[in-house]
Amino acid sequence: MSEPTGLAGEAERLDAADALAAVRERFVLDDVTYLDGNSLGALPAHVPARVADVVRRQWGELRIRSWEESGWWTAPERIGDRIAPLVGAAAGQVVVGDSTSVNVFKALVAAVRMAREDGDGGPGGTGGTGGTDRTGRTDGAGGPGGPGPVRDEILVDATTFPTDGYIAESAARMTGCTLRPVTPAEVPSVLADRGGRTAALLLNHVDYRTGRLHDLPALTAAAHQAGAYVVWDLCHSAGALPVGLDEHRVDLAVGCTYKYLNGGPGSPAYLYVRRDLQHRFDSPLPGWNSHAEPFGMRSDYAPASGAVRGRVGTPDILSLLALEAALDVWDEEGVSVAAVRAKSLALTDFFLRCVGAYVPDGRVESVTPAAHAERGSQVALRCDDAGEVMKRLIERGVVGDYRAPDVLRFGFTPLYVGFADVERAARVLARTLAG
């Protein structure tokens, strides 16, 4: 075990030099060391007053007039445009609403439908010419006028959060596809071998258990080269690190807003549809909110233009506007995704150093990659009695979480976590493990 002397002093100096330190005051915090923002972000201090205004004035006084006068009706697109720069997207491509699970279903089924359309030579497809369609992907099909490849498989991250797997299995049954679980590392070789049959992929940007950051640019490019569409789950990356949806020509993406975006428990998720694919986005859940004439009350469905196609039913206004208020933190001077990422890496580096200094050798094992390019904003430690250890940590004022069978997870939200928090967490962990 290495010498721990001086780490507390180093933490103090790092906090003093932290350009984001003042943002911590924008959150409701106490003496607890809160390292579970990768499950539920802390409450921004100004949100309760904003929600009170929504309840008392917008709902209580204006009532139904607020759909227009308070901007309720357009909130899903307006708030989507505020999330867009945090995931590297231009305005007009993100819509907020529904849960992550529902948005995964919409995106994955729509991806399969577009892939089938490409193979059939439908709108936007290649018609089996072996050329490149308007999305820049190669179809890999046969000669002129011939049919495209049979797209009858969906690849899903084998290590995904269970819900994504459940949804993918249902989407596969609905579309007549075979579901093929693969690890992200296996994706390039599987696509090289069976890419002509792959309609869509559902991948996680950051692994929820280990914190491993997967190579979104390379995997997206591999999917496109095989003629497939890719859906990215950004739940553990949005608000913590750069994503680059537009830069890397991601087709579709989904994510939650209650982790690093601090939108509150159960806050609505979001759906990204790349602009040039929006006219082809065929949702399996068409609703009146995504109709071209939502108040026309027509019996036949005609989809709206743009990202609005991703909407389904009446938006959850209270949680939606709480999220909108929470996003104000990102308007603070000096707050940017780049600054957050730099601090995130510094925090996780320092935590690993402190764990190495304080915790006896062999008691825990980090399953989070050491390389910055492969690390999200959490550290996962394998520990034989992880569940019981986490209970004792929480009793001692250090809140992380546990994932079966043996993982202690510690999430680092740079907007309100400091280096002293990190040092204390490692010190309390060592004391807890010592009994």
Choice among 259, 274, 311, 424 that is catalytic: 259
Choice among 36, 118, 233, 421 that is catalytic: 233
Task: Judge whether 280 counts as a catalytic residue.
Answer: no
Task: Judge whether 233 counts as a catalytic residue.
Answer: yes
- How far is it, in rounded angstroms, from Cα 350 to Cα 424? 11
Choice among 24, 116, 409, 424 that is catalytic: 409
Task: Judge whether 350 counts as a catalytic residue.
Answer: no
**Polymer length in residues for the chain:** 435
Choice among 27, 34, 105, 161 that is catalytic: 161
Task: Judge whether 259 counts as a catalytic residue.
Answer: yes
List the structure tokens of 185: 């590392």
Task: Judge whether 295 counts as a catalytic residue.
Answer: no
Choice among 229, 258, 272, 402 that is catalytic: 258
- How far is it, in rounded angstroms, from Cα 262 to Cα 258? 5
| Catalytic machinery residues | 161, 233, 258-259, 409
